[in-house]
Amino acid sequence: MAKIVYTDHERSAPYVKWHGVEFVHGQETPVDEREHGNLIRAAKDNPWFKVIGDGGSPAAGPTTKATARGKA
């Protein structure tokens, strides 16, 4: 289960509804990776949102963890 934190940088919208999920400034909102994979991927590139612990689910998009393949 991932958590997303919304930050109201401009102090003009203390709560928002984005991709069908409601967020409150500064509060962690739990989201299911399988159900909200698109939301998690979009939040990773949005400065108003921070993704915490997406669980490495393929539905949540590519991870930053590097893997080596091929011959050593």
Predicted local confidence at residue 48, as pLDDT: 97
| Residues of the chain below pLDDT 70 | 55-72
Under 8 Å between Cβ of 5 and 27: yes
Cα(71)–Cα(49) distance, rounded to whole angstroms? 39
pTM: predicted TM-score of the whole model, two decimal places: 0.75
Predicted local confidence at residue 17, as pLDDT: 97
| Collapsed DSSP state (helix, strand, coil) of residue 40 | helix
Tens digits of per-residue pLDDT, 8-19?
999 999 999 999
